[in-house]
Amino acid sequence: MASLPPRARKVPFDRVHHGDTVSDPYEWLRDKEDPEVVAYLEAENAYTEEATAHLAGLRQEIFDEIKGRTQETDLSVPVRDGGYWYYTRTAEGSQYGVHCRAPIASADDWTPPSIEPGAPIDGEQVVLDDNEQAAGHEFYSLGSFDVSPDGRMLAYAVDVVGDERYTLRIRDLDTGEDLLDEVADTFPGAVFSGDGESVYYPTVDDAWRPDTIWQHRVGTAGGDDQVVFTEPDERFWVGVGLTRSRRYLEIAVGSKITSEVLLLDTENPEAGFQVVWPRREGVEYAVEHAVVGGRDRLLVLHNDGALNFELVAVDPAHPLETASWETVIAHDEAVRLEDVDAFAGHLTVDYRRDGLTRIAMLPLEADTTSLAGASFTELEFDEPLFSVGTSGNPEWEQPTIRFGYTSFVTPSSVFDHDITTGTSTLLKQQAVLGGYDPAAYEQRREWATAADGTRVPVSLVARRGVLDAGEPAPMVLYGYGSYESSIDPGFSVARLSLVDRGVAFAIAHVRGGGELGRHWYEDGKTLTKKNTFSDFVSAAERMIELGFTAPSTLVAQGGSAGGLLMGAVANLAPQLFAGILAQVPFVDALTSILDPSLPLTVIEWDEWGDPLHDPEVYAYMKSYSPYENVTEQEYPRILAVTSLNDTRVLYVEPAKWTARLRDVGAPVLLKTEMSAGHGGVSGRYERWREVSYEYAWTLDVLGRSR
């Protein structure tokens, strides 16, 4: 006989804001140092394990499928940086990668060497072995990883707890030994200075906000480090980097809606860091250094009067002098500009149009004197759905552009594009073992109509014929819809274990994301946040209306802010779903955003609104926050997955939510990883087991567990 589910005891606790009193009897679960809290989480884990014990065989089967389709001994495509090709090897049986490098053949060697998985090449050197770093730890994450310009030193930082506090170290790559330099409690993003004599790195405040940039002199103790910049405004994050040209050291300061960039000219360091454009509320911008016709220019991608951003070139000496500005790419309501990269001989831009990512290029000829109205050439692809973006391009002088491409049916692929000839060369495509045939699958886009008439795109992939079989198919509908983050079509080896069992996978591109431009984001945040939830419901209804699925064969899935979406639709339309998978779910949103002492809360006010000081925002958030809106109704099966050391969405949110759902008889399970962070467990095999667990539960809900 199955055990009864754990029931958390109730401790009276009232929260009062704007004259409104909220009773929160499970707030006591917030103290993770309390043995009773730990015991409760462990009891929930034991109950969940018992309730899913019948799926143990299926979990192992799915794990074996993922493992069997994955080329475990593999390596990434080498990337040239300075005098070396850098790449990462993975080996069968190893949880983590090994970072390696090999010397270039000559200064004009731009063709990545052909390297066989598992077979070293001449001159190969191990830069960092993540398996050695992770030994003896249940969790491991590599944060910073940067090699000095002369290739002699490595700055790297690791977290072995999951709380995103990284210890920074410096390694002498000639000897393979770490120096005595060691700095605790850093944030990812450390970089070497242009001369390699210093490392700049960020640290966080008590709210886990990266707020300070430090300068560390290589070969000195961490206690002697100097503060370079501190941002007092709690809404802003800071980061540090070096332009590709290595001319400027850059400090980027940004909130959700406002940004500021400071540059240090390495040819005139005595002048110190200079602000490019002083921050103005609501204006976001990013800066890239280019050399055009022998002149230094700053390429500024900004949204000042340009909702979807425009690109202008300005004079580094007088960046605010508008008379000298050149509009490189004008604002376009149909095109969301996202990134620009400058090289010695060309420019590239990443953007999205019609809900899909795009890239385009512009050669810089020797006689180019102006970028005004420049004509970029877009790369074209023949699939209806795809994702593409530039990556792995550190070298200023390189004559090619590295880009990645994937779709629901095309495994992740890496190309080099020759700017001169206009040809793209496939360097590597993700291997899928066991005879994968992309022709056996189909992808398509459908459109749902929201309550206000807005058309919401839905991207789908399934075995060919499943969607047109004339009867409802089991389906997973995924959603996120926050922070202007776009969930683009991409290939997944693990997902084949669902799709090959006849399950269709769909992404609802709901408002709050960035798929259709900045307005898509603006229409799903703060006081329009409910559009995110109703869009997802409309997408589910459309999938049912088209006959692709039915409420009895539909599972909703989302994580983090997408977990908020899951909690909201569980309350809003439980009748549409057989199950809801909520991963590290942000389901106690109002409580968190009311407390400025919690990690990241003040920063989040630009995304959700400020319920602490604004009664309208308070009332609006209270009306949708999942925890406050659990009611007596029939809920679908729910699995909530969280991590004890998560600093972004605290474990207490799904713990409290689960307890309140139990009060109304909801069939809910809570699974807490006791040694992991926001990203879940570490190590590829452990991640595969985590995915296998979630997929087995999903298939059980969908009636496909046998």
Residues with active-site annotation: 560, 646, 678
Tokens of 241: 């980097």
3-state SS string over 283-298? CCEEEEEEEECCEEEE
* Cβ atoms 464, 442 nearer than 8 A: yes
Q: What backbone torsions phi and psi does residue 59 show, to the nearest 5 degrees?
A: -60, -45
* Cβ atoms 445, 460 nearer than 8 A: yes
Rounded to whole angstroms, the Cα distance separating 585 from 561 reads 7
Q: 24: Cβ–Cβ under 8 A, 6 or more apart, which residues?
A: 13, 14, 15, 591, 656
Rounded to whole angstroms, the Cα distance separating 194 from 56 reads 53
E strand or H helix at 616, and its extent? helix 615-624
Rounded to whole angstroms, the Cα distance separating 272 from 251 reads 12
3-state SS string over 185-227? EECCCCEECCCCCEEEEEEECCCCCEEEEEEEECCCCHHHCEE
Q: What backbone torsions phi and psi does residue 84 show, to the nearest 5 degrees?
A: -135, 155
CA atoms in the 13 A half-sphere facing the CB of 664: 18
Rounded to whole angstroms, the Cα distance separating 402 from 391 reads 6
Q: 498: Cβ–Cβ under 8 A, 6 or more apart, which residues?
A: 476, 505, 695, 698, 699
Pairing of strands 554-559, 579-583: parallel
Tokens of 606: 């630009």
Rounded to whole angstroms, the Cα distance separating 144 from 166 reads 8
Q: 460: Cβ–Cβ under 8 A, 6 or more apart, which residues?
A: 408, 443, 444, 445, 446, 467, 504, 505, 506, 507, 548
Helices (H), 94-198: 130-134
Provide, for the chain, the percentages of residues in helix, strand and coil under a 3-state DSSP scheme, each rounded to the nearest 5.
Answer: 20, 35, 45
Q: What 3-state DSSP class applies to 157?
A: strand
